[in-house]
Amino acid sequence: MTEPRQQSAKEFNEAEAIERAKHGDAHAFQALYDKHKRRVYSLCLRMTANTAEAEDLAQEAFLQLYRKIATFRGESAFSTWLHRLSVNVVLMHLRKKSLPVVSLEETTQSTEDESPKKDFGAKDVMLAGSIDRMHLRRAVDSLPPGYKMIFVLHDVEGYEHNEIAKIVGCSIGNSKSQLHKARMKLRDLLKADRAVKAGRSKAG
C-alpha cells in the first residue's frame, strides 16, 4: 500500500466494505481490518498473554476471514462471524501448544472441587477496595482456557451472553455458568495472592 492509512480507512460503511472486499478491493480489506483490529487483537492478547503470539493469531484470523469473505451472506453480524473465527484460531493455537484446554462441556460439569464452598464466611482475606490491574491480569492468565475465553469475551470485551453463545458455539446457560465459575476462580486466585502478600509483609 502506498497511500496513507487514513485514506484507506475512508468512509466505507461496513456493508459496502464487505461487498468491495468480495471484489478484491484492497482499501475495503484495510477498512474492515482497521475497524475490527483492536478487538481481535485484544482477545488474542488476553488469551495468550504474549504480544507476538497475539499478533500472529490476529493476522491468521483476518486472513481466514478474507479467504472466506466471498461466502459471507450476512445471516449473522459480520463482527460475530469475525470473532467466532478469532476464537477458533486462538483455541486451535492453544491446542497445538498442548495446553490443557478445557472443553466447554467439561467446564460446566460440577466437580467436588468446584462445588460452592460452604466456608467462604471464614476469616479470610477480603478483596476490599480496588483490584490491582496487574494482579488481575496475572490471575486471568492462569485461568483454564475454557473459563478464560468466556471471561475475556464477557467481562473484558463486553459481549453479551447471547453473542458469546454464537461466537463460541455454546448455549447461553453454558456461557453464564462458565462466567460464574471463572469469576469464582479469579476470586480464589486473587485472595491467595493477597494472602501471600499479607504473609510477606508480616514476616518483613
Residues that bind other proteins (CB under 8 A): 1, 23-27, 29-30, 33, 37-38, 41-42, 45-46, 54-55, 58-59, 62-63, 66-67, 115-118, 120-121, 126-127, 130-131, 133, 136-137, 140, 151-152, 155-158, 173, 176-177, 179-181, 183-184, 186-187, 190
Cell representation of residue 194: 493477597
Q: Minimal CA–CA distance to 150: which of 110, 109, 98, 107? A: 107
CB of 188 to other proteins, least distance (A): 10
CB of 161 to other proteins, least distance (A): 10
Q: Cα dist. 75→10, 99, 156, 171 in Å?
A: 25, 34, 26, 19
CB of 203 to other proteins, least distance (A): 26
CB of 183 to other proteins, least distance (A): 5
Q: Residue 69 gets which letter from DSSP?
A: G
Q: At what angle do helices 51-68 and 78-96 cross, to 10 degrees?
A: 130
From CA 68, how far away is CA 35, in angstroms rounded?
18
Q: Closest CB to other proteins among 54 and 87?
A: 54
